[in-house]
Structure 1
Amino acid sequence: MGLHEGVVAPDFTLPGVQVKDGYARRKTYTLSEQRGHPVVLAFYPADESATCTAQLCSYSEKLADFAQLGAEVWGIGLQDLASHETFAIKEDVTLPLLSDADGRVVDAYGIRLPGLGLRRSVFLIGADGLIKWKHVALVGATFRSATSIREQLAKL
């Protein structure tokens, strides 16, 4: 299903929003511009759902731990920036949330779930731009913990 470890991660540029101190900052995010350090891509189905809120809040709480390993964490969903911004402010999600409104990145990563949007997925992209690790959920009710992702990062 989808991409395999060891292949070059599909590049993309997406609009995103990041909330810090209650203030939202919008900008574009390009994966290839992050070469030189790892990036965690956390694809999630919906703003404001219970599982997505728990997942993204837990990742936000551990951003300093990811930064210690030189990694950035980006959340990617199919919702528009206004939805992401409202969600991030309400739930104090401080990692960047990127909008893949047309689903082209979801399709490039092979995680489309017909009729439902996308499969909850995490891709660890190495400093060299290769996919080093991934987890694609069959059903979106659970997610990989920040601790388990950090363990994978530490192996790089």
Structure 2
Amino acid sequence: MNQRCDELQLLNFIDRYIYIVEYITIMVKEGEKAPTFKCLDDKGKERTLQEFKDRILVLFFYPKDETAICTKEACTFRDRYEDFVKEGADVIGVSEDNQDSHQRFSSKHRLPFTLLTDQDGQLAKSYGVEKEAFIFKGRTTFIIGPEGKIACKYSSQLNYNAHVETALEY
């Protein structure tokens, strides 16, 4: 019985290790060209990476509208939004939520920035943002420089403040 438990623990460890290795190797790296995208925003408008050419873009992926940490993260970006504007940066949030959910979330929390809907998960996948614990997409922020390359990235599921601070430090 103990041997079977040990085997299961080892399999769980190996499974998690493989997941972490895949996550690290798939995610786009600093200095690489940012993957292009074409997604609908919270207002139903199609948005592309090309629109932000020659500007700094803060692209933050979060798991789900109206969840505790995601709401705190979005509101922290909201509270510091003018600091981003002063630096010439645009801010965009991305999750798998649909347009209606994004509209309600944006309106309720007075979010001044665009939210993109990534219902099929393809945008997150192209950036290497995979599901954490196989449930929700990871919480990752990318700063894309004016030349269209990843200038900085930051990942943390719980430390939502650091996403904003890291982006502002860039």
Corresponding residue for residue 65 of structure 1: 83
1:141 equivalent to 2:161? Answer no
1:121 equivalent to 2:146? Answer no
SS in structure 2 at match of 1:39: strand
Query: Which whole-Å CA distance do the structure 2 matches of 1:102 and 1:38 have between them?
Result: 26
Of 107-116 and 48-57, deviating more is: 107-116
1:11 equivalent to 2:32? Answer no
Bigger share in helix: 2
Corresponding residue for residue 20 of structure 1: none
After superposition, the C-alpha distances for 1:64-101 in whole angstroms (9 at most, x for unaligned) are 11011111000000110111111111122221110000
Tell me the TM-score normalized by structure 1. Answer: 0.86
Bigger share in strand: 1
Unpaired segments ≥5 residues, structure 1 = 18-24
Question: 22, 31, 35: which one pairs with 2:53?
Answer: 35
> 1:147–1:71: structure 2 CA closer, same or farther, 3 Å change rule?
same
Number of equivalent positions: 143
Alignment identity in percent? Answer: 31
> 1:43–1:109: structure 2 CA closer, same or farther, 3 Å change rule?
same
Query: Which whole-Å CA distance do the structure 1 matches of 2:67 and 2:136 have between them?
Result: 14
Contact 2:154 2:163 in 1 (8 A): no
Largest Rg, 1 or 2: 2
Tell me the TM-score normalized by structure 2. Answer: 0.80
Contact 1:39 1:72 in 2 (8 A): yes
Contact 1:78 1:117 in 2 (8 A): no
Q: Considering only aligned residues, what root-mean-square deviation do their CA atoms show, in Å? A: 1.3
Corresponding residue for residue 83 of structure 1: 101
Unpaired segments ≥5 residues, structure 2 = 1-23
Runs of 4+ in 1 over 6 A off after TM superposition: none
Quote how far apart the aligned CAs of 1:33 are. 2.1
Q: Give the partner amino acid of 1:113.
A: K
Query: Which whole-Å CA distance do the structure 2 matches of 1:145 and 1:43 have between them?
Result: 10
Query: Which whole-Å CA distance do the structure 2 matches of 1:148 and 1:43 have between them?
Result: 14
